[in-house]
Amino acid sequence: MRHFDVQIIGGAVLHDGSIAEMKTGEGKTLVSTLAAYLNALTGEGVHVVTVNDYLAQRDAEWMGRVHRFLGLSVGLIQRGMKPEERRYNYQRDITYTNNSELGFDYLRDNLARNSGQLVMRWPKPFHFAIVDEVDSVLIDEGRNPLLISGEASEDAARYPVAAKVAELLIRGIHYNVELKDNSVELTEEGIALAECALQTKDLWDEKDPWARFVMNALKAKEFYRRDVQYIVRNGKALIINELTGRVEEKRRWSDGIHQAVEAKEGLKIQADSVVVAQITYQSLFKLYPKLSGMTGTAKTEEKEFLKMFQTPVIEVPTNLPNIRKDLPIQAFATARGKWEYVRQEVEYMFRQGRPVLVGTTSVENSEHLSDLLKDWKIPHNVLNARPKYAAREAEIVGQAGRKFAVTISTNMAGRGTDIILGGNPKMLAREIIEDSLLSFLTQELPDFEADGERISEKVSKIKVGPSSLALLAKAALMAKYVRKSEGKYWTYKEAKTIVLESVEMSQSLDQKELEKLANEEAETYPLGPTVALAYISVLKDCEVHCFNEGCEVKRLGGLHVIGTSLHESRRIDNQLRGRAGRQGDPGSTRFMVRLISRITNDETIPIEGDAIVKQLLSLQVNAEKYFFSVRKSLVEFDEVLEVQRKHVYNLRQLMLMGDSESCSQHIFLYMQAVVDEIVIGNANPVKYVDLG
What is the tens place of the pLDDT at every residue in 501-530? Answer: 888 888 777 788 888 877 777 666 578 888
| Cα 352 to Cα 341: distance, rounded to the nearest angstrom | 17
Between CA 383 and CA 369 the distance in angstroms is 12
Closest CA to 417 of 392, 430, 431, 398: 398
**Cα gap 345→560, rounded to integer Å:** 10
How many whole angstroms separate alpha carbon 130 and alpha carbon 95? 11
Q: How many CB atoms lie within 10 A of CB 458?
A: 13
pLDDT digits (tens, 9 = 90+) for 43-87: 999 999 998 888 899 899 889 999 999 999 999 999 889 999 999
Percent of all residues in the chain with a pLDDT value above 90, rounded to a whole number: 38
Residue 476 CB neighbour total at 10 angstroms: 17
Which stretches of 18-142 are assigned E, i.e. beta strand? Answer: 19-21, 46-50, 74-76, 94-98, 128-132
Its sign, for the CA torsion 263, 269, 272, 276, is negative
Closest CA to 253 of 235, 279, 275: 275
Nearest to 326 by CA among 573, 25, 612, 599: 573
Does 567 score more than 90 pLDDT? no
Span 310-349, pLDDT tens digits: 899 999 988 888 899 998 888 887 888 889 999 999 999 9
> What is the rounded distance in angstroms from the CA atom of residue 55 to the CA atom of residue 399?
18
Give 331's strand partners.
593
Q: Which residue has the higher pLDDT, 218 or 692?
A: 218
Same CATH fold assignment for domains 5-146+281-315 and 321-421+558-607: yes
CB 258 within 8 A of CB 270: yes
Residue 456: the pLDDT is: 41
CATH fold of 5-146+281-315, please? Answer: Rossmann fold (3.40.50)
d(CA 503, CA 528): 7
Q: What is the DSSP letter of 593?
A: E
CATH topology of domain 153-271: Pre-protein croslinking domain of SecA (3.90.1440)
How many Cβ atoms sit within 10 Å of the Cβ of residue 550?
20
Cα 57 vs. chain centroid, distance in angstroms?
13
CATH T-level assignment (fold) for domain 321-421+558-607: Rossmann fold (3.40.50)
For residues 514 and 371, which has the higher predicted lDDT (pLDDT)?
371
Calpha distance 168→186 (Å, rounded) = 13
So where are the chain's domains?
A: 5-146+281-315, 153-271, 321-421+558-607, 423-448+457-549
Give pLDDT tens digits for 223-282: 999 988 999 988 999 998 876 777 887 788 888 899 999 999 999 988 766 778 888 888
